[in-house]
Amino acid sequence: MKTEREVKIRQVEIRDAFWTPMQKKVLDVVIPYQEKVLRDEIPDVEKSHAIENFRIAAGLSKGEFYGMVFQDSDVAKWLEAVACALALRPDPALEERADEIIEIIEKAQQPDGYLNTYFTIKEPEHRWQNLYECHELYCAGHMMEAAAAYAEVTGKEKLLHVMEKMADHVIDRFGLEEGKEHGIPGHQEVEIGLMKLYRATGKEKYKDMARYFLEERGKNPDYFYEEKLKRNWQYWEPYSTERMDVSYNQAHKTVYEQDEAVGHAVRALYMYTAMADLAGTDGDERLFGACRRLWENIVEKKLYITGGLGGNPEREAFAGNYELPNDMAYAETCASIAMVFFAHRMLEACVDGCYADMIERELYNGTISGMQLDGKSYFYVNPLECVPGVSGKAFGYRHALPVRPGWYACACCPPNLVRMITSLGKYCWGENDSTIYSHLMIGQKAELEKAEIIVETAYPWKGETAYIISPKTREAFTLAIHIPYYVDFSKEAAEITVNGERVDAPALMKKGYVYLTRKWQVQDRVEIHFPMEVRKIYANQQVRENAGCVALMRGPVVYCFEETDNGAGLQSLRIPGELKAEANFCREGILKGNVLLEIEGFRMKGDGELYSEKPPVKEKQRLTAIPYYAWANRGENEMRVWVPEE
């Protein structure tokens, strides 16, 4: 089933006006900042203690474990980000510090292969007793991902061998064989790590273990309840013998029977990612069919326009179909990042523009909104409406903060975002024996098997992209370029040319990709031009909160309105039925380099009474909209994405 080979990070050098500055900021500011947080060197932010936990577990320091039960995973994600950063730009000092941390991790590993600082330091007698709550497999999965990335980029395999030993320990403990525990992770992630360990080592047993964890889930929906009855303690709350909601971690049905995204959004999406990866790798049509059904439920009924996922703030979960509240949205940054992972694995298994469109939606909206433009503070939750005094304070809204904190006690999102941004290149391309697939219009130089390709683009602000091809073979091959879903080649202004000659794009289009097949010559040039119009987007009428409202998009970017530009009381703004909007580059201030929208709109004004028989008066007002990902960078103020249409 797998239609393309995975492109490695080192094969792609990002050279893009939008993404290169962001990657540079991550390299220069964010990775060093996060390292200092992990080492407890930044005052006035939530303490991490994550590296010190490993030192204590290794016997190099004395002290007590501090932090969440999954604190190890912050170090793992940061190490993976470092590996990807080293692929972008060599940094011997950073690599040396990472090597030192890996040595500490190696020393913290127990003789039987077990690796987890919480249970090594605090409760060694309770190892593997509470899979539902305690994240041992989750932490292992993230460290497996870090190990595979670090070995790929640096060639150093110390962490890889550590995690092979941990994986072998897991295999010895869990499985269907006699004497093994028929356990599954409470928080899915180890399945992704095992698949990456399989690729890094070529050892089938790791892929087989990923399949076991996926296929065992839901076979016994009472597993976690039975596990609870065997012990007399819990981690998060006082012990009770009540049954738990196993749909929360998707253990209510087998993966083949699930057709609705339910429960904790990140757990679900990590599981779907591993399912899609395994389905593509093994050519498993039945498993891929399950992935497709879950995908359709998400994108058709449970996805915010920004790519946010999780409409239920209680337990970070998916809400019901069409339940997408804007001001109470959870939309965890990690969930949007996980959706990128899921879409990428679906795309590898089946080339379809809907998956590339989703990666694009997430990259330009729901992921990077999680980081301040200076890289030093982060959103865990990404609401689509903010009202100071309510957001972050009132009951039911306390999760939706109006400003980004410097760190969190539960800091899963910041290092997750960094590893995604530094690994951006691997989402751009796919390749098989006959075709090179370009998934994203990002400026770059790519060294692929069949060709070196340079991409020059002004995207996402302009619909102008050029591909300069230098083939490495004399044989004909296909270059398949993803065309964003909103581009209409029936319009005269939209065109594709090869060496200046216009091609019949609609005739060459298949599932969102234009397929160009020829014997390519050195410096052959493919150019794509299309207008970047401001578009009004309407929600399904079953989304109660957005009935009568519109949101604005230009290219892949979702826009929002802030009080800073438009005054207080954003609920009084109206977008006219006939939209008149100008797109202008911002040339100063914190938003410099972004395209802002200027709109001829209205504000409704009443007589000041709480209730009145006098209708509000409509007044003209020039409105300004900014990219959603850039909100909350100019102090605490109101924000909203969806605005009533006049």
Q: Is residue 41 domain-resident?
A: no
First to last CA, the chain: 49
Residue 408 has pLDDT above 90, yes or no: no
Instruction: Mark whether 62 and 172 lie in a shared domain.
Output: yes
Reply yes or no on whether the pLDDT at 1 is more than 80. no
Tokens of 553: 């998009």
Query: Do both 393 and 485 map to the same domain?
Result: no
Task: Report pLDDT for 18.
Answer: 97
**Number of domains observed in the structure of the chain:** 4
Angle 596-599-604 from CA coordinates, rounded to 5°: 130
Query: What residues contact residue 277 under an 8 Å CB cut-off, 6+ apart?
Result: 192, 195, 345, 348
- Same domain for 598 and 480: no
pLDDT band at 595 (very low <50, low <70, confident <90, very high): very high
Here the tokens at position 364 are 């330009």
Place of tokens 């989402």: 427
pLDDT at 220 over 80: yes
Q: Which residues contact 322 (CB under 8 A, 6 or more apart)?
A: 301, 302, 540, 542, 543, 544
Please say whether the beta carbons of 579 and 358 come within 8 A: no
> Which pLDDT does position 254 carry in this prediction?
98
Taking phi over 0 as left and psi of -120 to 50 as alpha, with beta for the rest, 219 belongs to alpha
CATH assignment of the domain containing 453: 2.60.40.1180
SS (H, E, C) 386-436: ECECCECCCCCCCCCCCCCCCCCCCCCHHHHHHHHHHCHHHHCEEECCCEE
Supply the range of the domain harboring residue 524: 429-459+463-529
- Active site residue ranges: 316, 412
Kindly tell me the number of DSSP H helices and DSSP E strands found in the chain: 18, 23
**Each residue's pLDDT tens digit, 125-157:** 999 999 999 999 999 999 999 999 999 999 999
Same domain, 474 and 551: no
User: Same domain, yes or no, for 323 and 276?
Assistant: yes
Distances (CA, A) of 134 to 157, 180, 185: 28, 19, 9
- Upstream peptide bond of 460 is cis (omega within 30 degrees of 0): yes
Same domain, 156 and 289: no
Burial of 30 (0-12, 13-18, 19+ CB in 10 A): buried
Do 421 and 435 lie in one domain? The reply is: no
421/23 Cα distance (integer angstroms): 6
Q: Are residues 363 and 510 in the same domain?
A: no
Q: How far is residue 80 CA from its own chain's centroid?
A: 15
> Does residue 37 lie in a domain region?
no
What is the tens place of the pLDDT at every residue in 17-31?
999 999 999 999 999
Look-up: residue for tokens 């999780």?
310
* Domain annotation covers residue 11: no
Cα separation, 438 vs 356, in Å, equals 9
How confident is the model over 411-437, as a mean pLDDT?
A: 93
Residues 156 and 303 in one domain: no
Whether 10 maps to a domain, the answer reads no
pLDDT tens profile 358-402: 999 999 999 999 999 999 899 989 999 999 999 999 998 899 999
Report CA Rg, the chain: 25
Q: Give the SS3 label for residue 171.
A: helix
Q: What is the DSSP letter of 184?
A: -
Same domain, 61 and 174: yes
The verdict on residue 35 lying in a domain is: no
Question: Is pLDDT of 532 > 80?
Answer: yes
Stated as kind and residue range, the H or E segment containing 485 is none
Confidence grade of residue 313 (pLDDT, cut at 50, 70, 90): confident
Within-domain flag for 25: no
Whether 522 shows a pLDDT value over 90: the answer reads yes
pTM, to two decimals: 0.97
Rounded mean pLDDT of 177-193?
Answer: 96
- Give dist(CA 520, CA 473) in Å, integer: 8
Would you call 282 helix, strand, or coil by DSSP? helix
Q: Round to whole Å and give the CA distance between 104 and 363.
A: 34
Choosing from 253, 273, 307, the residue where a domain stops is: 253
Query: Do residues 222 and 291 both lie within one domain?
Result: no
Question: What are the backbone angles phi and psi of residue 481, rounded to the nearest 5°?
Answer: -110, 125
Cα three-residue angle 435-512-368, rounded to 5 degrees? 100
Output the six-digit token pair for 375: 């890289």
* C-alpha–C-alpha distance, residues 280 and 288, integer Å: 7
Choose one of 500, 529, 558: the last residue of a domain.
529
Domain end: 496, 529, 562, which one? 529
Q: What percent of the chain is predicted at pLDDT more than 70? A: 100
CA distance 559 to 459: 16
In this predicted model, what pLDDT tens digit does every residue of 538-576 receive, in sequence order? Answer: 999 999 999 999 999 999 999 999 999 999 999 999 999
Contacts by 17-23, CB closer than 8 A, 24 or more apart: 17/443, 17/458, 17/593, 18/442, 18/459, 18/460, 18/461, 19/421, 19/424, 19/442, 19/443, 20/443, 21/593, 22/368, 22/421, 23/88, 23/421, 23/422, 23/424
pLDDT at 407: 79
263-309 per-position pLDDT tens digit: 999 999 999 999 999 999 999 999 999 999 999 999 999 999 999 99
**Residue 231 belongs to some domain of the structure:** yes
Q: Residue 249: is its pLDDT beyond 80? A: yes
Answer yes or no: are the C-beta atoms of 31 and 75 closer than 8 Å. no
- Pair 147, 80 in one domain: yes
Count of CB atoms situated within 10 Å of the CB of 571 = 12
Which of 237-246, 295-304, 588-597, 613-622 shows the lowest mean pLDDT across its residues? Answer: 237-246
Under the banding of pLDDT at 50, 70 and 90, the label for residue 199 is very high
Q: Pseudo-torsion of CA 199, 201, 202, 207, nearest 10°?
A: -60
In a domain, 435, yes or no: yes
